Amino acid sequence: MTSSILQTATRFLMPLLLLFAVFLLLRGHNEPGGGFVGGLVVAAAFVLYAIAYGVSASRRALLVEPSMLLGVGLLVAVGSGVPALLSGLPFMTAAWGTVGVGPLAFDVGTPLVFDLGVFLAVIGVVLTIVFTLGDVARAED
Amino acid sequence: MVPEALHVAIVLSPFILLPAAGWLGARGSRHARFLSLVPAVLTAYFGFTYWLVSTTGAFTVTLPWATNLGLSLSFHFDGLALMFATLITAIGALIVEYAARYLDGHRDAGKFHISLFAFIGAMLGVVLADNVVTLFVFWELTGFTSYLLIGFEHEKPQARQAALQALLVTAAGGLALLAAGILLSNAGGTSSLSMLRGNDLNLTNDPAYAGIAILVLFAAFTKSAQFPFHFWLPNAMQAPTPVSAYLHSATMVKAGVYLIARMTPLLGGTALWSGSIAAVGALTMLGASYRAVLETDLKRILAYSTIGALGVMMLLLGLGTPQAVTAALTYLLAHACYKGALFLVAGAVEHETGTRDVRSLAGLSRAMPKTALAAMLAAASMGGIVLFFGFIAKEQLYESVGAASPFGIHAGVLTAAAVASSMLLGSAGFIAGVSPFIGQSTPGRVIQEPPASLWVGPLILGAAGLVTGLAPAIIDAPLGLAVASIIQDAPPVSLAIWHGWSGTLALSVLTSFVSIGLFVFREPVRRMLRPRALRTERVYTGALAGLDAISRTVAPALQSASLRSYALIVVMTGVAFVAAALLTNRVLPTLSRWTPIELHEAVVAGLIVAAALSAAVARSNMTAALSLGAVGYGVALMYALFGAPDLAMTQFAVETLTVVIFVLVFYQLRGFGDLSSRIVKVRDALVAIAAGSVITVLALFIGASGTTSRLSSYFAEMAPTRAHGRNIVNVILVDFRGFDTLGETTVLVTVAIGVRALLLIGRERRP
């Protein structure tokens, strides 16, 4: 079942959704948002793509295997706690610094890296489940 | 001086080198034999530490571990520990060399060497451990690695069974050791064994003393295969021969003896301690040496005679006089050499002839002269022939039991028992080490000398028995140092071949003659005496069968493999606990602080209720899924209305994806079924209503109590200043409670892997 309306709409929605997800991830610390919901939005975008164009097309659009994102995400999240460990502080103690100058200066810290890990892992979790279910469903048709 | 961390790293080097063991081990004997360099170098290292200890006294190296719990990874170097450590690494080097050849070309040779190296490391840990917890960890590691080694031929069901049996029996002992260690450190105020010894405590008056002593004895008796736990050792002969030689004769089974020796300064001196060790040791010694003569399988003969020898050592440690303790350690050294050699010879014989039955082995000395020489040297030591080390050990045994008369038992009784069992053990040694090599060889079989790796090891061990027998003075100093770490102010050890004309000498001569006599007439003896064993193994099998039966009745009730009943149990348990907490604290929602309900809020609430009811009475999958989705959207709207935009966004995204996943799952479901009976539906409804009511009360209670505002203001204050963020929810998630989030993320990832694995079971993986 293909629907050209859905397909066309998806083509416009995808970049918007992905941008929105990154926006959510980055502003999460100060405004509503964060890695978890950002990851869900990315996953939803690729699920939408899968509904419109099929699971295989969505897999190709993702460029990496979702199971890869599982591992990388968890690794990034764990890795964000390591700098503290190396400087003799308890695991996951936050470290902050400032990037940029003047009105463009903003704080950057290890919690942001942690959030990025959560973001990637959540994408991996949802898409691993949905793609596998999709594959199995297609195999049974 | 050597830094402490380096000492620790050297002791743990077998673990550090596990990858090398696996890599070289899998590449055939020409590479695997290089692995024997590791225990060889370690032997030299222990020689060096022996020099340190003998010049500057015992020392402890410590690496902080869980300092909050007062635990550290600490090794204590003293005479006793070093004697065992040297034995472990020296014989270990021979065993690794032997095993490399014995398992040449075996497809699991890499795995074998990994297990063997882990075992060497664990065993070193046991004898050097200073902390009771360290001791327990390494103790259980030896059991675990021996499980892997006994079950090495895992395709044979008997091997798996024997491995499991050895693991269960010795791990039970290990748990007893842990309990004893905890009691001990509570009673003594420290978990360090050397500090406990140094504190000059009077533990024997402690109320926990009997408990500690019984638990330690249980651990030692199970590990050293003492009656009534002896049955696992003969069964463990399913292991490859190098393992039997190493674990089940030279090292691991002696861990029990080591434990008794180690704990005697702390717990010894009471009737409970000495009496049970001596009694159990004597019983084991007699029973096992009797069985040893009646067996016909080479390895089983050696297994029973090992149990008997362990009994001898226990008896001597139980007597506890300086003389007896010296005798126990002398016997231990002698036994490690000759029994290790005989096991390795048994392996070489089986390797070349394909059988281990002594009745069908004869005349091999012509074909395998070097193996025969090794075997006969070892058998001579085991038989206590003059000029061999076994002779000295036996003399010491006789003198010790002759001099002691514990608890009013006449010394003659113990002497008679020791003489009788020595006769039987000696004859068992001849049966295993001499009979395959003498007499007429079976014609028609072409048998060759095994490769050098298979006879060099036993020959070295056999020759060691002769060298130390001729010049026993060379081990006086290390032996004395070991005895001194068990008994303070022990007289210096001085071993000698010649003790003058004495009753002991007469008994020794008598023993040798009877041993040889029993050996010559082994066939009629075997026919006359049928093995009549006390089958304590039946208690083990009975207990296992009982546990299985309990599991079979309990497990189906708890593990129904039905998601609905799991959900039911989880919900009911949660509701019961929360309700109990609310009721016991007499919290009733105080409805004094109603906020006015707006119309749109009432509409959303009504929608949620309607959608929930629709889900409950749905007649199709799609209706149920969409109704649940509507409930979720309703809740998300509530979040949005009451100022929780983060939760609302997340809830919307989750609900959307859940509906998609539901739709995909429908492909897997076979239509919509009405599976529950009326009673089940009523029950489920009651549980659901109870859960809803309890949660409602809980929510009202939380709203009414002041806790929330306090937390909110704390986080509102701390988030921007300490965590550089104004969004409290997210700051809590990634910073304040970041570790929780990491755990939750891990759970999610695990779930995804599990879902994928479950879905793909039995399906061809798609590219």
Q: How far is A88 from chain B (nearest CA, A)?
A: 15
pLDDT at residue B199 greater than cutoff 70: yes
Q: What is the mean pLDDT of residues A63-91?
A: 86
pLDDT at B541: 85
- Residue B747 — very low, low, confident or very high, per pLDDT cuts 50/70/90? very high
A37 and B766: CB-CB below 8 Å?
A: no
Which residue range forms the structural domain that includes residue A108?
A: 4-140
Q: What are phi and psi of B59, to 5 degrees?
A: -140, 160
DSSP 8-state code for residue B726: S
A46 → chain B, closest CA residue: B657
User: For residues A31-51, b (16+ Cβ closer than 10 Å) or e, as one string?
Assistant: bbbbbbbbbbbbbbbbbbbbb
Min mean pLDDT across B65-74, B291-300, B582-591, B633-642 is at: B582-591
pLDDT at residue B767 greater than cutoff 50: no
A125 and B749: CB-CB below 8 Å?
A: yes
Q: What 3-state DSSP class applies to B749? A: helix
B668 and A137: CB-CB below 8 Å?
A: yes
| Interface ipTM | 0.91
| Pairs across A and B, CB distance < 8 A | 144
Cα distances (angstroms) measured from residue B38 to each of B49, B75, B348, B699: 16, 19, 24, 64
pLDDT at B405: 64
pLDDT at B562: 81
Q: What is the mean pLDDT of residues B350-379?
A: 86
Q: Give the C-alpha separation, B234 to B743, whole Å.
A: 46
Q: How far is A77 from chain B (nearest CA, A)?
A: 7
Tell whether A132 lies on the interface with B, counting CB pairs under 8 A. yes
Query: Locate tokens 């910073």: which residue?
Result: B735
Q: Look at phi and psi of residue B384 and say left if phi exceeds 0, alpha if psi is from -120 to 50, else beta.
A: left
Q: Vertex B523, ends B520 and B526: CA angle to 5°?
A: 115
B734 and A111: CB-CB below 8 Å?
A: yes
A44 and B657: CB-CB below 8 Å?
A: yes
Min mean pLDDT across A56-60, B68-72, B466-470, B651-655 is at: B68-72
Q: Which residues of A touch B653 (CB under 8 A)?
A: 37, 40-41, 44
**Could you tell me whether strands A106-109 and B59-64 are parallel, antiparallel, or unpaired per DSSP bridges?**
unpaired
pLDDT at residue B738 greater than cutoff 90: no
B724 and A107: CB-CB below 8 Å?
A: yes
Mutate one of B722, B729, B730, B758 to test the A interface: name it (highest A CB count within 10 A).
B730
Q: Give the C-alpha separation, B308 to B302, whole Å.
A: 10
Q: Which residues of A touch B760 (CB under 8 A)?
A: 132, 136
| Token duo for residue B229 | 């736990």
User: For residues B560-580, b (16+ Cβ closer than 10 Å) or e, as one string?
Assistant: eeeeeeeebeebeeebeebbe
Shortest CA distance to B124 belongs to which of B47, B220, B18, B11? Answer: B11
Q: Give the C-alpha separation, B385 to B395, whole Å.
A: 11
pLDDT at A140: 67
pTM over cut 0.80: no
Q: How far is A72 from chain B (nearest CA, A)?
A: 11
pLDDT tens-digit map of A30-54: 787 888 899 999 999 999 999 899 8
pLDDT tens-digit map of B209-219: 999 999 999 99
Shortest CA distance to A107 belongs to which of B693, B720, B579? Answer: B720
pLDDT at B32: 86
A67 and B742: CB-CB below 8 Å?
A: no
B756 and A137: CB-CB below 8 Å?
A: no
Q: How far is A106 from chain B (nearest CA, A)?
A: 10
pLDDT at residue B69 greater than cutoff 80: no
Q: How far is A120 from chain B (nearest CA, A)?
A: 10
pLDDT at residue B700 greater than cutoff 90: no
Min mean pLDDT across B132-141, B146-155, B329-338, B488-497 is at: B488-497
A29 and B725: CB-CB below 8 Å?
A: yes
Top pLDDT among B107 and A72 is at A72
Q: Which residues of B touch A44 (CB under 8 A)?
A: 653, 656-657
Q: Which residues pair with B64 in a beta bridge?
A: B72
- Residue B142 — very low, low, confident or very high, per pLDDT cuts 50/70/90? very high
pLDDT at residue B231 greater than cutoff 90: no
| Token duo for residue B704 | 């009414």
Shortest CA distance to B730 belongs to which of A29, A22, A24? Answer: A29
Q: What is the mean pLDDT of residues B521-541?
A: 75
B741 and A114: CB-CB below 8 Å?
A: yes
Q: Which residues of A touch B753 (CB under 8 A)?
A: 67, 70, 128
pLDDT at B525: 80
Cα distances (angstroms) measured from residue B168 to each of B150, B152, B535, B554, B581: 13, 17, 17, 21, 40
Q: Which residues of A touch B668 (CB under 8 A)?
A: 133, 136-137, 140
pLDDT tens-digit map of B539-557: 888 888 898 899 888 888 7
Most confident residue range from B231-240, B563-572, B729-738, B743-752: B743-752
pLDDT at residue B359 greater than cutoff 80: yes
B752 and A32: CB-CB below 8 Å?
A: no
pLDDT at B315: 92
pLDDT at B588: 62
Instruction: Express as a percent the part of chain B with pLDDT over 70.
Output: 94
Q: Do B646 and A115 touch, CB atoms closer than 8 A?
A: no
Restricting to A residues 21-60, those with a Cβ less than 8 Å away from any Cβ of B are 24, 28-37, 40-41, 43-44, 47, 51
Q: What is the mean pLDDT of residues B101-129?
A: 92
Helix axes B298-319, B255-267, angle to 10 degrees: 10
Q: Is B196 exposed, middle or buried (0-12, 13-18, 19+ CB in 10 A)?
A: buried
Q: Give the C-alpha separation, B274 to B454, whole Å.
A: 41
Contacts of B461 (CB under 8 A, 6+ apart): B91, B94, B337, B338, B340, B341, B344, B374, B378
Q: What 3-state DSSP class applies to B153? A: coil
Tell whether A99 lies on the interface with B, counting CB pairs under 8 A. no
Q: Give the C-alpha separation, B559 to B563, whole Å.
A: 10
Mutate one of B652, B744, B749 to test the A interface: name it (highest A CB count within 10 A).
B749
| Token duo for residue A85 | 């460990």
B759 and A29: CB-CB below 8 Å?
A: no
pLDDT at B185: 87
Q: Which residues of B touch A124 (CB under 8 A)?
A: 749, 752
| Token duo for residue B365 | 């000395």
The separation between the first and the last C-alpha atoms of chain B, rounded to the nearest angstrom, is: 60
B766 and A34: CB-CB below 8 Å?
A: no
pLDDT tens-digit map of B4-52: 888 999 999 999 999 999 898 888 888 888 899 999 999 999 999 999 9
Q: How far is A60 from chain B (nearest CA, A)?
A: 12
Restricting to B residues 642-671, those with a Cβ less than 8 Å away from any Cβ of A are 645-646, 649-650, 653-654, 656-657, 660-661, 664-665, 667-668
Q: Which residues of B touch A30 (CB under 8 A)?
A: 725-727
A134 → chain B, closest CA residue: B664
Min mean pLDDT across A82-86, B126-130, B550-554, B690-694 is at: A82-86
Q: How far is B479 from chain A (nearest CA, A)?
A: 46
Q: Give the C-alpha separation, B739 to B732, whole Å.
A: 10
pLDDT at A105: 65
pLDDT at B214: 94
Q: Which residues of B touch A75 (CB under 8 A)?
A: none
Shortest CA distance to B337 belongs to which of B369, B299, B382? Answer: B382
Counting every residue written for chain A, the total comes to 141
For A118, which of B725, B741, B756 is closest by C-beta distance?
B741
Q: How far is A103 from chain B (nearest CA, A)?
A: 17
Tell whether A135 lies on the interface with B, counting CB pairs under 8 A. yes
A33 → chain B, closest CA residue: B646
Q: How many domains does chain A have?
A: 1
pLDDT at B708: 61
pLDDT tens-digit map of B751-763: 999 999 988 886 7
Q: How far is B192 from chain A (nearest CA, A)?
A: 27
Which alpha helices (H) appear in B249-368, and where do they start and end?
Answer: 255-267, 271-294, 298-319, 322-353
| Token duo for residue A98 | 């400032």
pLDDT at residue A56 greater than cutoff 80: yes
Mutate one of B715, B728, B734 to test the A interface: name it (highest A CB count within 10 A).
B734
Tell whether B68 lies on the interface with A, counting CB pairs under 8 A. no
Q: How far is A5 from chain B (nearest CA, A)?
A: 19
Shortest CA distance to B690 belongs to which of B682, B701, B678? Answer: B682
Q: Give the C-alpha separation, B181 to A136, whole Å.
A: 54
> What is B565-727's CATH topology?
Four Helix Bundle (Hemerythrin (Met), subunit A) (1.20.120)
Tell whether A94 lies on the interface with B, counting CB pairs under 8 A. yes
Mutate one of B68, B724, B755 to test the A interface: name it (highest A CB count within 10 A).
B724
B735 and A43: CB-CB below 8 Å?
A: no
Helix axes B503-520, B411-433, angle to 10 degrees: 40
For A118, which of B723, B745, B755 is closest by C-beta distance?
B745
Q: Domain map of chain B by residue range?
A: 322-528, 565-727, 737-767
Across chain B, mean pLDDT equals: 86
- Residue B534 — very low, low, confident or very high, per pLDDT cuts 50/70/90? low
- Residue B106 — very low, low, confident or very high, per pLDDT cuts 50/70/90? confident
The radius of gyration computed from the CA coordinates of chain B, to the nearest angstrom, equals: 34
B755 → chain A, closest CA residue: A129
- Residue B662 — very low, low, confident or very high, per pLDDT cuts 50/70/90? confident
For A36, which of B650, B735, B763 is closest by C-beta distance?
B650
pLDDT at B533: 59
